[in-house]
Structure 1
């Protein structure tokens, strides 16, 4: 990952969402992006030029644009029409973003359009977040990594966030994924946690 001093940045065309520029690079704001928050609150993973990424919950493309600055291709899945309009504009300016208007809980609908990926990134605020991630692991190559951004209040508002966090980690492990990092995203995003997993070589998660 690229830092200027202690500031996380990405190298690409600026003014995607009014982000600040620093030394000719785009400042990746952890208060605007949960993935950026992971790099400040925890460790995260190294995004590399040859990586293929499946991004679930692309929204208006804020974080997608930064991921695309680092990687080879980003398959960006978004279901809502309004943010998809913004995402299409981001994709117009970055030729390695493939926008897909689809429901992340039904990966069979976009399976013909997505190749095997090195990173599965999920930021879908649904009650069945773990199940959606597991279902989409069919696209993840053996040895590939999953980053699940868990919005605990979207899973079950009646349960303490820590309990939802533990249950989600348990579900991912039960599906055959190896958890390598789990961290709360405080102070950047309240009641959000990041869970980083690896799909074992030869696994069928």
Structure 2
């Protein structure tokens, strides 16, 4: 699988790993400006490491839902274009603002991904919608934010089974979430994200023509 421009496989401590070229955020190893992208700490990193059909070339305009303290979205902003990072909680937002100080293309938004109308006046049409939110109704969030995605854009989504139903079989949860997602998207690829993330499903999708 071809990686986006700005993402490479580099060797850190004798082991090959994904890496992006940008300022370090925490304690990740960095060699010559290239910082390790740890798939154990990033659903998107796990999706790329698994070779999912991401279809990215680099330079895309991004809306990232569930940016948290900025670990993954900082890597995304390293290879993407303008990156709008939505996070609901104030504490991780403080860290995210600090991450954005070193990245001119990263724009933190203290907003609720379940209420896209609250940031519709800020976010431009995007090529890539990334979703990593820990809430029930994950498919509904992706459908509500579909309005920002260009017709030829892509959705990269990490579905958390336990956020939907902590007692249900994860595969049953995944099937139900994907079935709802198909009301507005065509699924291109779906893969479990083990061993990096238990009970998570990675999904790559495009807007469907009649959604």
- Shorter chain as denominator, the TM-score bin is over 0.9
Q: Tell me the SS of whatever aligns to 2:202.
A: strand
Residue equivalent to 2:187: 179
Contact 1:119 1:144 in 2 (8 A): yes
Moved >4 Å (runs of 4+): none
Quote how far apart the aligned CAs of 1:42 are: 3.7
Per the TM alignment, residue 44 of structure 1 is displaced from its structure 2 partner at its CA by 4.3
Between the aligned partners of 2:190 and 2:143, the Cα distance in structure 1 is 17
Q: For residues 1-205 of structure 1, what are the structure 2 equivalents within 5 Å? A: 1=3, 2-4=8-10, 6-14=16-24, 16-173=25-182, 175-200=183-208, 203=209, 205=211
- Report SS of the residue matched to 2:190: strand
TM-score for the superposition, normalised by structure 1: 0.93
Instruction: Kindly indicate whether the alpha-carbon contact (under 8 Å) linking 2:52 and 2:191 is maintained by their aligned counterparts in 1.
Output: no
Flag structure 1 segments of 5+ consecutive residues without an equivalent: none
Rounded to whole Å, the distance in 2 between the matches of 1:44 and 1:82 is 33
Question: What is the number of equivalent residue pairs in this alignment?
Answer: 201
Partner Cα distance (1:40, 1:3) in 2: 10
- Inter-partner Cα distance in structure 1 for 2:22 and 2:53: 21
Query: What whole-Å deviation, never above 9, does each CA across 1:73-130 have from its counterpart, x for those lacking one?
Result: 1100000000000000011110100110000000000000000000100000101000
Deviation of residue 7 (structure 1)? 1.6
Task: List runs of 5+ in structure 2 lacking aligned partners.
Answer: none
TM-score norm. by structure 2 comes to 0.91
